[in-house]
Amino acid sequence: MVAEAFDRKAAPVAIPEQSPEKYYGELVFNRQRMFEYLPKEVYDELLKAIENKTPISRRIADSVADGMRRWAVENGVHHYTHWFHPLTDGTAEKHDSFIEHDGKGGIIEEFSGKLLVQQEPDASSFPNGGIRNTFEARGYSAWDISSPAFILGSTLCIPTIFISYTGESLDYKTPLLRAINAVDKAGTKVARFFDSEVKHVRTFLGWEQEYFLVDESLYSARPDLVMTGRTLLGHESPKNQQFEDHYFGAIPSRVEAFMLDLEISCQRLGIPVKTRHNEVAPNQFECAPIYEEVNLANDHNLLLMSVMTEVARRHNFRVLFHEKPFAGINGSGKHNNWSLGTDRGAMLFSPGKTPEDNLQFITFVVNVMAAVHRFNGLLKASIMSATNAHRLGANEAPPAIISIFTGSQLAAVLDMLENSSDADLSSLAGKAGYSLGLSQIPEILIDNTDRNRTSPFAFTGNRFEFRAVGSSANCASAMIALNAAVADQLDRFHSEVNNRVANGMPLREAILSELRKLVAQSKAIHFDGNGYSDEWKEEAARRGLDCETSAPLIFDAYLAPEAVEMFDRTGVFSKVELQARNEVKWEMYTKKIQLEARVLGDLALNHIVPVARRYQSMLVDNVVKLRELYGHGADDLTSDELRTIENIARRVSAITRTVNEMVNERKKANAISDQRSRAIAYHDTIAPALNVIRRHADKLELLIDNEMWPLPKYRELLFIR
């Protein structure tokens, strides 16, 4: 089996003859298609609605639906689906065909505006945290006109939000759109301090998706990978990433063929994928697009994950998005490069050429720092999950503490700002602003090379990079919390500055003095040192940053009074929604650990232990025979073997004992009805047992005859040839 897997040749890729310009976006109902398939007047109305975020009339919807259908049918499509992001990993679709009765006993193909705009999928089985008890189990999906429809396989997909009968969000898109609006509103008010013509502030996201590839046949022989997405046991390979020869190394031809196929498939769907490279761990890779507005970027990330799963299968690979599929080597993240910009073209985290631009830059940067400081526990909760918990805090990923890396030059500017006196500030209010050093900021970015890989949230020259996001996560979770927190902070900043101005302070001075206050207040969040070190954990605790490491307790941050109030003020989540979502988070956490416990229990008792015992009997048999042959003369010859026999026996009994204890703990935990307490029990008593079982099983892997070992080993799983 192994040899066959390694001998596979790269699957042929149908490389289009045209350049990407020709096929880019050909599967998207984009502006060009809208123009082609919609009456001029409908096209204008639709664009206006997209631009101003206003609803469209039923008449326009009918016409758009008809145009979309004609385009889709011309492309061989006969089904459509509302495509949404429920509170699970991934996306949901329920397909319907375009057929309707024609009233004469036959059928016609039809797609009405009503069906385009809103539907009621009977999706009562999606997680909802108790919002929809069965008698009001209706959930509605409604078209998000800001994200274009696209063709996936033979289905027209219409991006939608998913809400309950009573209006609560049951998905990721609804609160994301609300957070985008909140940051637009508050950001615009602040941006107008610098440019009175600003009408909108936009949010951008450029994600970097890390993933592993595993040969399909080896994957199929690992029930843990198939069921949980990660290896629950497996001893480290002697060679792993210690030579750092994989990172940015030559891409194996089989993988390159996969990547090319993936890129073409993505570009046809209008996903602007641009960068690809090997990552640090063997078999680990990364893919990144050109950044886009966050709502579209997030749809594209989710779409990429589905497409990648399909394309991998075409190449006899399985793609792993799990944050920690293999112990002992790097896990996978999804860096969220995030920035804000105005409709006038200013990028708000990019320093400009004039002191005025730089004051705007410093204003937005300092407000982000203040927001991340105020809500550091919440931001950690936004990226936490049962799977990402393996990565955070481990020694190759950001720690389970949120801090901001600024780089030395920006740090110097912040220092200067903080240490200037009131007198300095009032003299800076005029032209003297130059002396603050703000005018020197442009130089900073030319040489912004001191990147810090250990920071969970880093300033990287023209954007912030939220690196702690997990590779399997929906980016929306992080983007909702971050944008809402920043919106709230910007709003507060706007009122504070206005208060000062109302009391007679000049605007520039009011801005500077408020910034100075914020820099001093949020100092604790700024850390440019080594985030992996133990000293940092102690220091962070002293600074009052959230240092909780237990996932179920980290989720509490969503229900802390400051968070509930902030989400209420920004209109992103109601308290009911927050409570319901936390129920889902705790439940998901429990289910994931429960599944791992079941799978590992089975692997341990039915795969590992029987083989260990069989091998042990062979050794015992050998010892007995040697004794028969040599009598006491065999003592010398059998002493090593006897030690191995004892070692195996001890480990086998430790495994069986721990599995039994774990089963008992599970029974106890399952009897707890409160989701939060049950998740805590799974975290405290069941998750640790997984590690104990693994430790013994991995030792057995080293002791037992290679021919008998029932699972593919790391050294086979990790090196694609």
- Tokens of residue 18, six digits: 């045209």
Among 77, 288, 563, 603, binds ligand ADP (CB under 6 A): 288
Alpha carbons 571 and 265: distance in angstroms, whole number: 37
Among 11, 347, 524, 654, binds ligand ADP (CB under 6 A): 347
Residues that bind Mg ion (CB under 5 A): 335
Q: Which of residues 178-207 bind ligand ADP (CB under 6 A)?
A: 204, 206
Identify the burial level of 138 via C-beta atoms within 10 angstroms of its C-beta, where 0-12 means exposed, 13-18 middle and 19 or more buried.
Answer: middle
Of residues 337, 382, 403, 658, which one binds ligand ADP by CB under 6 A? 337
Residue with nearest beta carbon to Mg ion: 335
With binding defined as CB under 6 A, does residue 270 bind ligand ADP?
A: no
Binding segment toward ligand ADP, per CB under 6 A, in 225-233, 334-342, 403-411, 572-580? 334-342
291 is a contact residue toward ligand ADP (CB under 6 A)? yes
State in angstroms the smallest separation of the CB of 292 from ligand ADP: 8
In angstroms and rounded to an integer, the radius of gyration of the C-alpha atoms of the chain is 29
Q: How far is the CB of 442 from ligand ADP (least distance, A)?
A: 16
Q: Is 224 exposed, middle or buried (0-12, 13-18, 19+ CB in 10 A)?
A: buried
* Residue closest to ligand ADP, measured at CB: 206
Q: Please report which helix (H) or strand (E) contains residue 411, including its range.
A: helix 408-419
CA dist., res. 342 & res. 299, Å (int): 22
59 or 274: CB nearest Mg ion:
274
| Residue 666 φ then ψ, to 5° | -65, -40
- Phi then psi dihedrals of residue 508, to 5 deg: -60, -40
Contact between 208 and ligand ADP by CB under 6 A: the answer reads: yes
User: Taking CB under 6 A as the rule, does residue 289 contact ligand ADP?
Assistant: yes
Residue 206 contact among Mg ion, ligand ADP, none, beta carbon within 5 to 8 Å by kind: ligand ADP
CB 357 within 8 A of CB 489: no
CB nearer ligand ADP, residue 272 or residue 529: 272
User: Length of the chain, please?
Assistant: 721
Please identify, among the stretches 40-48, 337-345, 492-500, 519-527, the one whose residues bind ligand ADP according to the rule CB under 6 A: 337-345
Hey, what are 411's tokens? 């740090």
CB of 21 to ligand ADP, least distance (A): 19
How far apart, in whole angstroms, are the C-alpha atoms of residue 655 and residue 699? Answer: 11
Q: Which CB sits closer to ligand ADP, 97 or 275? A: 275
Binding mask 294-333 for ligand ADP (x = CB under 6 A): ----------------------------------------
10 Å Cβ neighbour count for 206?
21
Q: 3-class DSSP state for residue 181?
A: helix
What's phi and psi for 28, nearest 5 deg? -120, 140
Which one among 1, 15, 290, 520 touches ligand ADP, defined by CB under 6 A? 290
d(CA 447, CA 348): 19
Q: How many residues bind ligand ADP (CB under 6 A)?
A: 14
Cα separation, 390 vs 332, in Å, equals 10
Binds 678: which of Mg ion, ligand ADP, none (CB < 5-8 Å by kind):
none
CB of residue 206 vs ligand ADP: minimum separation in angstroms?
A: 3
Q: How far is the CB of 298 from Mg ion (least distance, A)?
A: 17
Shortest distance (Å) from residue 29 CB to ligand ADP = 24
How many Cβ atoms are within 10 Å of 538's Cβ, its own excluded? 11
- Residue 113 or 333: the one with the smaller Cβ distance to ligand ADP is 333
- Going by the DSSP 8-state scheme, the letter that residue 684 receives in this structure is I
CB of 367 to ligand ADP, least distance (A): 17
d(CA 310, CA 669): 37
H helix intervals, 503-608: 507-521, 534-542, 551-554, 561-570, 575-602
289 binds, among ligand ADP, Mg ion, none (CB under 5 to 8 A by kind): ligand ADP
**Region 458-477 residues binding ligand ADP, contact defined as CB under 6 A:** 462-463
Q: Report which residue type is found at 531.
A: G
374/467 with CB nearer Mg ion: 467
Strand partners, 226: none
Report, in Å, the least distance between residue 467 CB and ligand ADP: 9
Annotate 259-289 with DSSP letters as a single string.
HHHHHHHHHHTT--EEEEEE-SSTTEEEEEE
Is the CB of 407 or the CB of 552 nearer to ligand ADP? 407
CA distance 289 to 272: 5
Partner from ligand ADP, Mg ion, none contacting 291, C-beta within 5 to 8 A by type: ligand ADP
Q: Which residues lie near ligand ADP (CB under 6 A)?
A: 204, 206, 208, 275, 288-291, 337-339, 347, 462-463
